[in-house]
A and B are shown apart, each in its own frame.
Chain A
Amino acid sequence: MEKAKKTTKKYSKSQWALLFMAGLGVVFLLVFNYAPMFGISLAFQSGDYVIDVRDAILNSEFVGFDNFKKFLTDPEFIDVVVNTLGLNVLSLVLTFPAPIIFALCINEVKNKRFKKVVQTVSYFPYFLSWIVFGGIVLSMLDSQTGIVNEIIVKLKLAAGPVNFGLSEYFWGLIIVTGLIKGVGWNSVIYLAAIAGIDASMYEAAEIDGANRWNKMWFITLPSILPTITVYLILAISGLLNSGFDQIWVFRNQMNLDRSEVIDTYVYKHGILKNQYSYTTAIGLLKSVIALILLTVSNAVSKKIAGRGIY
């Protein structure tokens, strides 16, 4: 009796309440995030085409790394990996700096009202779904009725209307539309960082005779560097994550060889063809590589810039 009382006394009533509240989150994560991790065992089993999940996990045979081997020797493997990495590395290189440049430039605009309007308008495409935005872009690119092809033909940029549905345009489409849709919104975080810079630094620099460029280069940019680092690390760890929504909208029968990425491949073979074990293995491979990328880029950042995200 005495002992039981002591253990309940260990925490106050309000601490128990807090524990309950935080516990709700833990229970949620255990169900929706940790329970699926047990399903990873499927990656090492022969559970393809098994309808009942419990049956697949409990009763199917262990096959070691066979599922991984199957993926590595699949004729589509090279294309899928090249598309995933190529597309993501290219869009990282091209679209990562864009919001930073946008933020630095819009920060130089003197007219406050004009700045505000441009900023607000720049967020707009972000709030449209990829279905809507992509659908509109495809109409604008249409070879007969689209404005883009009209401009191309009028300015004689090409021999005739361009069919943007072909493979060779797919990566370009993804990168350009990603840029347009995200640049304004992604700049907000950098603008927030710029807003937090101590104004006295600029005043001191002005007294020392610094011009606009000096201030941008020696004060603004170094001040937002920590923010840039954090987002760069996160972007690198997401290198295998394609924007499924975006790719799904722009892909068609003609550009499959350039539009099939890991995420669409897993969807196609896993969800549509019930190859659960095979695609779980691919998903696992992806998760592990993402974790490695995160750890490595964080370590590199800590070494070079002296800071990481954890």
Chain B
Amino acid sequence: MKRAKNLKGYSVFDRLLVVFFTLFALLMIYPVYYVFVGSFNRGLDYISGGVYLFPREFTFDNYRVVFADGGLWRAYFITVSRTILGTFTAITFTSIVAYAMSRKELPFKKIIYFINIFTMFFSGGLIPFFLLIKTLGLYDTYALYIVPCAYSVYHMIIISNFFRSLPEELREAAVLDGAGEFRILFSVAIPLSVPVIATVSLWIAIGHWNSYFDAMVYTSSEGLVTLQFYLMKLINSQNVNVGAITLPASVTENLTAEVVTFATIVVSILPVMFIFPFISKYFEKGIMMGSIKG
């Protein structure tokens, strides 16, 4: 106890914290590491258990199967395209509304604000929304992934709070130059709000990347299956989808659904893993900005 205290002013409590948080960090990382290891292991060998730290019988076969899976790539394409298009649409639309809501001189501001806030506390529920989607003709269309996600009150409030904190003089200068409100938004307000715009965009993008509920409920055709929905069906079916390619018998005999699913999972999270280290600090910043209003 005493000796511990002498060590560079680190108390026992400090050291316990370090040990605890090291274990904690490992726990956060391990599930992904686990699936990574499994994805490089031969299927038949994996069944006997014990593949936890390194692949025991190393192979690329699982990935050969995954790369030849046409359904997966189609789902990948749907998800990548909806993420890009959906994020762009939503951030543009939401910023426009947020800008108007950040201005004091907006007429009927109180009523408009109430119309927005009320939707956060009360909704018609799943079924009326489902029936609306059908009535609007959005059911089983690609637009379904973009249009209903184009606006979020919560994001609007966060962006709007940031716009409000921008110096008024910049706007006045733009007005003197004869700029209209749209000009001011796109050439003054948005360029000065890159951190919050980037953060909210990333939130929206992650939402698009990870969603499967909309695909499951509001679509029925194969061509609209998203990446996560595809994964879900794969995990539930427990079948190996060898599909288009012909593999030598020595390979197919060794394949199992589980390790192929692992490889598919790895392929599906690679983009998130690569981008994550660069974007995590933005996420944090964004939450802090959103919390200013308290």
Contact = CB atoms under 8 A, between A and B. Distances in A.
A42 B122 contact: no
Nearest to A192: B288
Interface residues of B, number: 95
Given A120-B280, A150-B50, A139 B228 contact: no
Given A19-B108, A35-B132, A109-B18, A24 B97 contact: yes
B162 interface: no
Contact of A29 (B20, B119, B235): B119
B128 A37 contact: yes
A21 B127 contact: no
A123 interface: yes
A155 to B, nearest CB: 15
Contacts of B109: 22
A19 to B, nearest CB: 6
A190 B117 CA distance: 24
Contacts of B50: 145, 150
Contact of B124 (A24, A37, A139, A276): A37
A111 B19 CA distance: 13
Contacts of A111: 18
Contact of B101 (A13, A22, A147): A22
A280 B97 contact: no
B76 interface: no
A129 to B, nearest CB: 4
A144 to B, nearest CB: 6
Interface in B56-99: 93, 96-97, 99
Nearest to A184: B28
B9 to A, nearest CB: 8
B100 A18 contact: yes
B276 interface: yes
By DSSP majority rule, is chain B's interface helix, strand, loop, or mixed?
helix
B156 interface: yes
A291 interface: yes
A26 B47 contact: no
A125 B31 contact: yes
Given A39-B124, A237-B121, A287-B123, A15 B105 contact: yes
Contacts of A25: 93, 96-97, 100-101, 112, 116, 151, 156
Interface of A: 11-15, 17-22, 24-26, 28-29, 31-40, 42, 53-54, 56, 105-106, 108-111, 114, 117-125, 127-133, 135-140, 144-147, 150, 180, 184, 188-189, 191-193, 195, 212, 226-227, 230, 237, 244-245, 249, 263, 266-267, 270-271, 276, 279-280, 282-284, 286-287, 290-291, 294, 310
Interface of B: 10, 13-14, 17-18, 20-22, 24-25, 27-29, 31-32, 34-35, 38, 46-52, 93, 96-97, 99-101, 103, 105-109, 112, 115-117, 119, 121-132, 134-136, 148, 150-151, 153, 156, 175, 180-182, 185, 206, 209-213, 217, 228, 231-232, 235, 258, 261-262, 265, 268-269, 272, 276-277, 280-281, 283-284, 287-288, 291, 294
20 contacts: A14-B175, A19-B100, A29-B116, A35-B132, A40-B124, A109-B21, A124-B32, A127-B276, A128-B272, A131-B210, A135-B265, A140-B34, A144-B47, A227-B294, A270-B130, A271-B127, A283-B124, A283-B125, A283-B127, A284-B125
